[in-house]
A and B are shown apart, each in its own frame.
Chain A
Amino acid sequence: MKIVFTPDWFLNNDILIGVVSFMVLFLFFLFAVKSYTLNKKKSILYLGIGFLLIALGELSTILTKLILYYDSGIIQEIGQAVITSQIVNTVDIFYYVGFFFNRFLTLLGLYLIYMIPSSRKRSIDFFFKTYLIFIVALLSHNLYYFYHLTALILLVLIINNYYKVYRKEKIINTKILIAAFSLLAISQAIFLFSKLNYLYVTAQSIQLVSYIILFALIIKILKNGKKTKQDGHNA
């Protein structure tokens, strides 16, 4: 069974995209924690945890892919067929666990971000839905599109939440946020057909653009904080 759909010429680029995604997501986590230390708002903390979970999911993929792409050297060095076979089995389990963590943590993170506006309703319901996410992540090993479809649904729900915020507040930053999440949703929709190499690369590239937009958003927020009205408008 094919573990990843990355074409050979794109092998290192997808790891690089993963690293960029991880860094941006971790930056959002740090910003949320910084906010929480100042205002003790639980919703901000949940947002931060959501981003952290997705970041850890990315990290899990990066590490798994690094070993997947570069493990042949380790096997050759050992040189004995029996030991090689045992290592291949161990590596198989490693890939399985690595990609499982990626799917589970990403879906859980997205679900947490989606749930924030209705955080008061969080209770046993949350544990049940976490269990469902666990099942989806587990099943997605054989049915890869199951994961991408679930991620797509969660992203559409998140976009809907932010669209409501935008309609109420009319903040440009929220518009940028919607654009970034929309691109992420589009990338998940394309990943559904990632058996076709060029569509996998397209989806990865769109994902990179969405994380660059999120990075630009953080830079914009940091710059605006330093401005005073004499330099320009703060909002």
Chain B
Amino acid sequence: MHDMLKITREKGGKIKKTHLMYKANLSHKQMKSYLDELIKNKLFESKSSGNRHLICITKKGQNFSVKYTQIKEFERTFGL
């Protein structure tokens, strides 16, 4: 799930559902399940502009992603 947040952050905070699915290497079923969870926890929000359905990372999602990346790097530094 963190990969989804990270990919969206790298794309400037918003991404198409299909692009996210492709970049995170997920099946449609996995994607739906993770996305529902992330939206439920207010880390992602779904936005529509015209015919385009975009997935946007929320402020909470951004903060979580930053924190998670820092912690992962901290762990890797110590080989934990």
Residues on A lying within 8 angstroms of B by beta carbon are 31-32, 34-35, 38-39, 41, 43-44, 47, 116-117, 161-162, 164-165, 168-169, 171, 173-174, 177, 217, 221-222, 224-226, 228-230, 234-235
Contact = CB atoms under 8 A, between A and B. Distances in A.
A38 to B, nearest CB: 6
B9 to A, nearest CB: 5
> Could you tell me the dominant secondary structure of chain B's interface residues?
helix
Interface stretch (B14-22, B32-40, B41-49, B68-76): B68-76
Nearest to A175: B77
Contacts of B50: none
> Could you tell me the dominant secondary structure of chain A's interface residues?
helix
Most chain A beta-carbon neighbours within 10 Å: one of B12, B73, B74: B74
Contact of B75 (A35, A161, A224, A225): A35
Contacts of B10: 228-230
A173 B73 contact: yes
Interface in B52-80: 66-71, 73-80
Given A39-B75, A234-B73, 10 more contacts: A31-B74, A34-B71, A35-B75, A161-B79, A165-B78, A221-B70, A221-B74, A222-B70, A224-B69, A225-B69
A226 B66 contact: yes
22 contacts: A32-B74, A34-B71, A35-B75, A38-B67, A44-B80, A117-B79, A162-B78, A162-B79, A165-B78, A221-B73, A221-B74, A221-B77, A224-B70, A224-B73, A225-B66, A225-B70, A225-B73, A228-B6, A228-B10, A230-B12, A234-B69, A234-B73
Most chain A beta-carbon neighbours within 10 Å: one of B9, B68, B71: B71
